[in-house]
């Protein structure tokens, strides 16, 4: 499966199975994507690669690396030291975003109050999707 930025200077490849697909409401994702929430997939190292790399890395907090296209600015990925063997890509950057369905909301305590979601998915406080709280 492939993904790319808006201008196409960044391309990447993902091999299934992915480890997770979640909606994230945390302020950092929200600000990086300039969107009220984002949806990302977790991909273990060894199952993804840049096929065209033109990214800039930004450390949004200690131990968290976020990348974006150096030309068009599209947010591409983030990874955290606390899950150092997993890369996260935004589903909206995938060529086929419809095939990835989220199973959980994380950082739900940061959800914007006017964002009205009625999808029946479980919710979790904090960023850790490996330990859902509900």
Q: Are 45 and 87 in contact (CB under 8 A)?
A: yes
Number of residues engaging Zn ion in binding (CB under 5 A): 9
Query: Taking CB under 5 A as the rule, does residue 41 contact Zn ion?
Result: no
* Residues from 67 through 126 that contact Zn ion (CB under 5 A): 69, 71-72
* CA torsion through residues 59, 82, 127, 72, sign: positive
Judged by beta carbon, residue 24 or residue 48, the one nearer Zn ion is 24
Is the dihedral angle over the CA atoms 72, 105, 124, 21 positive or is it negative?
A: negative
Q: Which stretch binds Zn ion (CB under 5 A): 18-26, 83-91, 93-101, 109-117?
A: 18-26
CA distances from 120 to 24, 54, 134 (A): 15, 38, 12
Tell me how crowded residue 89 is: count the other CB atoms within 10 A of its CB.
Answer: 24
Q: How far is the CB of 36 from Zn ion (least distance, A)?
A: 12
User: Which range, of 3-11, 56-64, 80-88, 90-98, touches Zn ion by CB under 5 A?
Assistant: 3-11
Closest to Zn ion by CB, 52 or 99: 52
Sign for the CA dihedral angle at 71, 75, 76, 79 comes to positive
Q: Does 26 bind Zn ion (CB under 5 A)?
A: yes
* Residue 24 sits in the site that holds Zn ion (CB under 5 A): yes
DSSP state of 27: H
Residues at the interface with Zn ion (CB under 5 A) = 5, 7, 9, 24, 26, 29, 69, 71-72
């Amino acid at each position: 499966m492939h993904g790319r930025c808006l201008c196409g200077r960044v391309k990447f490849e993902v091999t299934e199975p992915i480890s997770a697909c979640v909606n994230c409401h945390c302020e950092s994702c929200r600000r990086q994507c300039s969107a009220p929430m984002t949806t990302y997939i977790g991909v273990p190292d060894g199952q993804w690669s840049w096929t065209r790399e033109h990214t800039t890395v930004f450390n949004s907090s200690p131990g968290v690396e976020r990348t974006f296209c150096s030309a068009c600015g599209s947010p591409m990925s983030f990874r955290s030291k606390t899950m150092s063997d997993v890369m996260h890509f935004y589903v909206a950057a995938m060529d086929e975003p419809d095939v990835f369905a989220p199973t959980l909301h994380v950082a739900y305590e940061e959800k914007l109050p006017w964002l009205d979601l009625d999808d029946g998915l479980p919710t979790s406080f904090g960023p850790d999707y490996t330990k859902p709280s509900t």
